[in-house]
Amino acid sequence: MTKPVRNGNPLLPYTEKQLPSGFTLIHKEVRSAPIVTLDFWIHTGAIHDPEPHFGLSHFYEHMFFKGTEKHGVGVMDRIITSLGGYNNAATSLDYTHYYVVLPSAGWRAALEVMADSLLHPLFDPEEIERERAVIVEEIKRHEDNPWAKIYDEFIEAAFANNRYQRKVLGTVDSLQTIDQGVFQDYQRKRYHPRNTTLSLAGDFSLAEVEDALGEIMGGETSEPFEDETAEWPLIEAPVNVELRRDVNQAYLLIGYPAPRTLGTPDEYSLDLLSTLLGEGRSSRLHRRLIDELGIASSVSCSAWGLKNATLFIMEAATDADKIDRVEQVMQEELDRVRDGITLDELEKVKSMERADFSFSNEKISSMAHTYGYSRVAADIEHAIHYLERLDEVDIESIQRAYDAHLTPSRRCRGALLPKRG
């Protein structure tokens, strides 16, 4: 159904419907420029990797571009480029998505080649081996990145009781278990229309898109599909992860795993709290650690909303001999903010969030991303009405979210330090 325009929201109006083939279609018509975005969201990610094939979802992302029964290796990229566009993809814990941005004159050809890769992948054994080697090198580079390394270990500890502990890239060993048969089985189980959301925005009409998809799919349909949405078990005791590497500074993470908050009032409260604490130069952590004390080179804070859990996380980079003091100050600011938020501060961070929302949905590609991500992670309405629900947040609701989710018994600490001399 089509949602009406309300309060000048750039995401309204839009249409969401399920097609006979099983695809969920989200369409936003934008005629301001001859540009379109086609964004295919598969409701599958690292949490769905079957044991022992960890890293399969990400590996599959690489193979998506490696040929079909109709198109050889590299043909998709050449077609998209010849149409004046570009394509890319990303894999996360909850989802994988593939997108194309191009001039509107070529959208039909782009849709055909993307749908072909979705429905008829080839999984050539030689290409599998080539991409396996590419991903092994990607894992090695990831391991050499200090922030990436401590994040991986920290998240594994924070979500030790559920599948969010998984590494999206998998491991060198787990990649060796993946062959053509594993890909084919995963494609049958996860890569089918009823597990796919097509988020399309730009210079084309809904009728055009529906007609094109009907012709592309023919009579092909897929069985009903139900994905899991539940609160997953969390750790119930504090954890500490400490690594030493050949680095010149220290990296510190303090976080609190919590139940799912996406689409609930606590989502907006935690977003505002994280902005107040650690987003931008005016945030409390930046002012205290960098401006006043000069003991950190960078700080930030975020509320990471996943489909089945949340992670509220603060981070800082500093000199190794200052890490204890930095941690002390971070904890002081976290303790202080619970009862120390002023109305002026609250309105300021609301203004920052409003500006970020508007900026992040300014482009056609950004709109398509917002629709698709919201559909995979929660529901579109929670994103569409983000600003309205943000306005409803008051100091008391932030305090309630703080008490409910920043639980001391689940405090996680991660630190990556220079090797001892």
Share of the chain above pLDDT 70, in %: 95
CB atoms under 10 Å from CB of 409, counted, come to: 10
Integer CA distances (angstroms), 381 to 13, 24, 26, 302, in order: 12, 15, 12, 22
What domains appear along the chain, each with residue ranges and CATH number? 2-217 (3.30.830.10), 239-418 (3.30.830.10)
115-173, pLDDT tens digit by residue? Answer: 999 999 999 999 999 999 999 999 999 999 999 999 999 999 999 999 999 999 999 99
CB under 8 A, 24+ apart: contacts of 285-290:
285/314, 285/316, 285/330, 285/333, 288/329, 288/333, 289/316, 289/318, 289/326, 289/329, 289/330
Query: What's the burial of 236, exposed, middle or buried (CB within 10 Å: 0-12/13-18/19+)?
Result: exposed
If one compares 322 and 7, the residue with the highest pLDDT of the two is: 322
Sheet with 14-18: list strands edge to edge.
2-3, 14-18, 24-29, 196-202, 35-42, 96-103, 86-91
Q: Report which of 93, 228, 232 is spatially closest to residue 160, judged by C-alpha positions.
A: 232
360-401, pLDDT tens digit by residue? Answer: 999 999 999 999 999 999 889 888 899 999 999 999 999 999
Amino acid at 71: H
Chain centroid to CA 3: how far? 25
Phi and psi angles of residue 200, each rounded to the nearest 5 degrees, phi first: -125, 130
pLDDT, position 218: 74
* Residue 1 confidence (pLDDT) above 60: no
Distance CA 357, CA 25 (A): 23
Band (pLDDT 50/70/90 cuts) for residue 16 is very high
The residues, ordered by sequence, that sit 6+ positions from 37 with a Cβ below 8 Å of its Cβ are: 99, 100, 101, 199, 200, 201, 202, 364, 365, 367, 368
Reported pTM: 0.94
94-126, pLDDT tens digit by residue? Answer: 999 999 999 999 999 999 999 999 999 999 999
Kindly report the length of the chain: 421
pLDDT, position 217: 83
Average pLDDT, the chain: 94
pLDDT, position 420: 84
Q: Are the C-beta atoms of residues 195 and 225 closer than 8 Å to each other?
A: yes
Share of the chain above pLDDT 90, in %: 89
Q: Which residues of 111-138 are buried (b: 16+ CB within 10 A; e: fewer)?
A: bbbbbbbbbebbbeeebbeebbeebeee
* Residue 6 confidence (pLDDT) above 70: no
Q: Report which of 370, 371, 352 is spatially closest to residue 360, judged by C-alpha positions.
A: 370
What residue has token string 């139900």?
226
